[in-house]
Structure 1
Amino acid sequence: MKSYVIGQTTNQASIHSGFGPHTTAQEALGNRNLDGKVALVTGGYSGIGLETSRVLAAAGATVIVPARTPDKAKVAVAGMPRLELETLDLMDPVSIDGFAERFLATGRPLDILINSAGIMAAPLTRDDRGYESQFATNHLGHFQLTARLWPALKQAKNARVVAVSSRGHRLSGVDLDDPNYDRRMYDKWKAYGQSKSANVLFAVELDKRGRSEGVRAFSVHPGLVLTDLSRHLTEEETGRPKQMNDEKEKPAPDPDADQFKSVEQGAATSVWCATSTQLDGMGGVYCEDVDISEAVPADSEKGTGVRPWAIDPDIAQRLWELSEKLVGFKFSI
C-alpha cells in the first residue's frame, strides 16, 4: 500500500476568523484578486452554487459551470464574465469522464474545485448501476469527478477542493456494508445524512493524500438556505427537517433550525475555504459560518459542530477504498 505524507493535522476548532453566520460570500472574499485562476463549481447555476460562481468570476477567475440542464444554466448565468458552461450529469459515469476529458484537453490547471451540486431527501431512486441516488450524486459522482480531474488539480501546485456537505451529516454516518440501501429499509433523511457524512470524510482523506502535491481539501456546511435543493420536501419539512429514530419521528435537535441564511450568506463558507489566506497550510476540516467548526460528541444536541463519524480517519480511508471499487477507478495520487 502506498504511504502518504501526513504532516500536521489541522485542528477541528475555530481559528477566530473574524467572520460569522451573517458574512456574505463577497465579504468572505474581501479584496482578493483571482485573475488567472481557474475554478469549477458543480451546481454553479442555481442557488448557493450560482452565487459562488458569481463572486469568483467577479473577482477575476475563469469559472467553469458544468450543468445537467444546460438550457436552464444558460439563462441563470447570462451576462456573467469569464464563465464557461459545460455538460455534466453526476449520476452518469460516462458523462463525468467525458467532461473531465474535455477539460483536461484544454491543458489548463484547476486552482479551485467546489463540489456544490446535490440532491436532498429524494424518494428512493437508483442510477443505471443500481446505486442509491443521493449517495451516487452527492458523493460518488463528485469522487469520480475529482479523481478524473486530479492531473489538473496537481498542475495548479496550490489547489483547493471544497466539498459542500451539510449540517444534515448528523442524521447518519456512512453504512460501509450497505451504502446503497440494498438490504436495509430506505429512509430519505438518513440517506441524505449518509451522503453528507461521505462528503466530509472525502475531504478528510483527500487532504491527507493530496497535501504533498499541494492540494488541500475542506468540507463545509453552507447554512440553512431555501433553494431548489428543497424541491422534494413538504411545506412542514422545509421549515424544520425531521430526524428519524426506530420508534417515531421527532424534530431534529437543532436550536438554530429557524435561522435561515440568504443565498449570499450561504455561499460565504465555500468561497472562504476556496480562497482565504487564513487557511494557508490547513485542510481536511469541516467548516461552517466562515470558520473551522468544532468537533462535538456523537450525542450532541447542538445544531452546529461536526460529529465524530464524519471525521474519523479510519472510516475516511475505508470509504475512499469502497468508492474506488464502486466507481471502478483508482484515484492515481
Structure 2
Amino acid sequence: MTTPQHKIGSGFGYHSTAAEVAAGVDLTGKLALVTGGYSGIGLETTRVLAAAGARVVVPARRPANAAEALAGIDGVEVDELDLGDLDSVRAFADRFLATDRRIDVVIASAGVMAMPQTRVGPGWEAQFAINHLGHFALVNRLWPAVADGARVVMVSSRGHNFSGIRWDDPWFADGYDRWLAYGQAKTANVLFAVHLDALAEARVRAFALHPGRIRTALLRHVDTDDMRERGMVDAEGNIVGDWKTVGEGAATQVWAATSPQLAGMGGVYLEDCEIAEPARPDDPMHGVRDHATDPAQAARLWAMSAELTGENAFA
C-alpha cells in the first residue's frame, strides 16, 4: 500500500537528536549496515545504533581511517568498500553474503556533494555514480541477506530540488554543473527508495530523507565564497540560519531506520523526523518535489540503473 506523503504527527522535530528518537528502541540481535558510518552524521548514526544493541557493519573506502574513528564503540566492524568502483561493491557484498548473516537495517549515508567534475568507472559522472549507482548495486547485490521486516534508508537532500534526472544527458557530457549533478544524484536517491519499496511489496520498507544543514566533511568541496553566494554564511563567513548539530542531523535517518511510528509505511521522503509534505510552489525548498516521487520516473531510473550496473535483485 502506498504511504501518503503527509505528516503523521511524530512528536519529533528539527532539533530532535538521534539519541532522542532512538530512546527505548532495543536493537539487540539486529544487524545494521551504514555506509559512511565513520564520519559526520554517519558516525553518530553508528554510535546510536550500537548503543541500542545493534551490530553495525561499516563499509569504508579507507578502512584504517574508519577503524580509528570507530575505536571504542562496541559492536562495530569495518570492511572495505569503494562506492565508485562496482568491482569493490560486488567484492564487499559477496564477502558479507559468505557470512550467512541477515541485515535488518541498511542506511546509505555515504556521499559526495558539489565536487569538481570527476569521472569514475566507464566514464560515469562521479556524484551520480557514488551517491546513487554504488548504493543501487550494493543493495541489490545484498538483497538475499536483507531480512523480512528490514528497512532501507537512503540519505538524500533538499538538494533534490536542483535537478530531476537528466534523461538526455545524465553524465553532463554537454557541460558540467556540480550543483545540478548533486541535485540529480539526490533525486535518484529518493526515486530509488520509491521503487524499491514498491518492488519489495511490504517485505522490506524503504525511505529517503533530508538530514538538514549540518557542517561536516560533506562540505569539503564547498568553499567560503560558494557558501556565501548560497546564503549559507554571511560576508564575514559566519553561519547564517539555524544549522543542525551532528546529533540533530543524524536523527531523521535513525528515526527512519528504527521508529515504530513508521511501521507499515514506506516509499516516502522524510525531513525533521517526519514524513515531509509535498513541496509548495511558494516554498520549493521544503518538502519533496514531484519529480523525486513520481512512480513512473522511479521505475525508469531503476531499469536504467540495473542496465548500467548489471545488478537487479528483482529481475
TM-score (norm 2): 0.95
**Distance (Å, rounded) in 2 between the aligned partners of 1:211 and 1:42:** 24
**Distance (Å, rounded) in 1 between the aligned partners of 2:218 and 2:24:** 30
- CA RMSD, 1 decimal: 1.7
* 2:150 pairs with 1:159: yes
Indicate the SS of the match to 2:120: coil
Indicate the SS of the match to 2:311: coil
C-alpha distance after superposition, 1:76-133 (max 9, x if no partner): 1001000000000000000000000011111111000000000000011000310000
* Matching residue within 203, 210, 227 for 2:216: 227
Indicate the SS of the match to 2:201: helix
Find the counterpart in structure 1 of residue 163 from structure 2.
172
* Matching residue within 278, 282, 297 for 1:315: 297
Change in 2 beyond 3 A, CA 1:166/1:28:
same
In 1, are the aligned partners of 2:93 and 2:142 still within 8 Å (CA)?
yes
Indicate the SS of the match to 1:160: strand
In 2, are the aligned partners of 1:163 and 1:218 still within 8 Å (CA)?
yes
**Distance (Å, rounded) in 1 between the aligned partners of 2:167 and 2:6:** 27
Find the counterpart in structure 2 of residue 332 from structure 1.
314
Letter in 2 for 1:265: E
1:35-50 pair list within 5 angstroms: 35-50=28-43
Structure 1: state its 5+ residue gaps. 1-7, 243-255
Quote the offset at 1:241 in angstroms: 3.6
* 2:184 pairs with 1:194: yes
C-alpha distance after superposition, 1:42-63 (max 9, x if no partner): 0000000000000000110000
**Distance (Å, rounded) in 2 between the aligned partners of 1:10 and 1:189:** 30
* Matching residue within 200, 203, 213 for 1:210: 200
* Matching residue within 129, 135, 141 for 2:134: 141
Change in 2 beyond 3 A, CA 1:219/1:95:
same
Quote the offset at 1:330 in angstroms: 2.5
* Matching residue within 266, 282, 293 for 2:265: 282
Quote the offset at 1:240 in angstroms: 6.1
C-alpha distance after superposition, 1:275-315 (max 9, x if no partner): 01000000000000000000124x44343100010001100
* 2:278 pairs with 1:295: yes
Find the counterpart in structure 1 of residue 235 from structure 2.
none
**Distance (Å, rounded) in 1 between the aligned partners of 2:90 and 2:240:** 38
Find the counterpart in structure 2 of residue 269 from structure 1.
252
In 2, are the aligned partners of 1:224 and 1:257 still within 8 Å (CA)?
no
Number of equivalenced pairs: 310
**Distance (Å, rounded) in 2 between the aligned partners of 1:241 and 1:313:** 31
Letter in 1 for 2:305: S
* 2:243 pairs with 1:260: yes
Change in 2 beyond 3 A, CA 1:240/1:306:
farther
Find the counterpart in structure 2 of residue 247 from structure 1.
none
**Distance (Å, rounded) in 1 between the aligned partners of 2:199 and 2:71:** 38
Identity of aligned pairs, percent?
55
C-alpha distance after superposition, 1:222-274 (max 9, x if no partner): 000010000001113335647xxxxxxxxxxxxx9722100000000000000
C-alpha distance after superposition, 1:159-216 (max 9, x if no partner): 000000001100111112221112x21100000000000000000000000134x110
* Matching residue within 115, 121, 124 for 1:128: 121
In 2, are the aligned partners of 1:240 and 1:257 still within 8 Å (CA)?
no
* Matching residue within 8, 14, 23 for 1:21: 14
Structure 2: state its 5+ residue gaps. 232-238
Letter in 1 for 2:144: P
* Matching residue within 109, 119, 122 for 2:102: 109
**Distance (Å, rounded) in 2 between the aligned partners of 1:128 and 1:18:** 44
Indicate the SS of the match to 1:321: helix
Indicate the SS of the match to 2:148: coil
Letter in 1 for 2:201: R
Q: Which runs of 4+ in 1 moved over 6 A?
A: none
Find the counterpart in structure 2 of residue 3 from structure 1.
none
C-alpha distance after superposition, 1:133-166 (max 9, x if no partner): 000000000000000010111xx11100000000
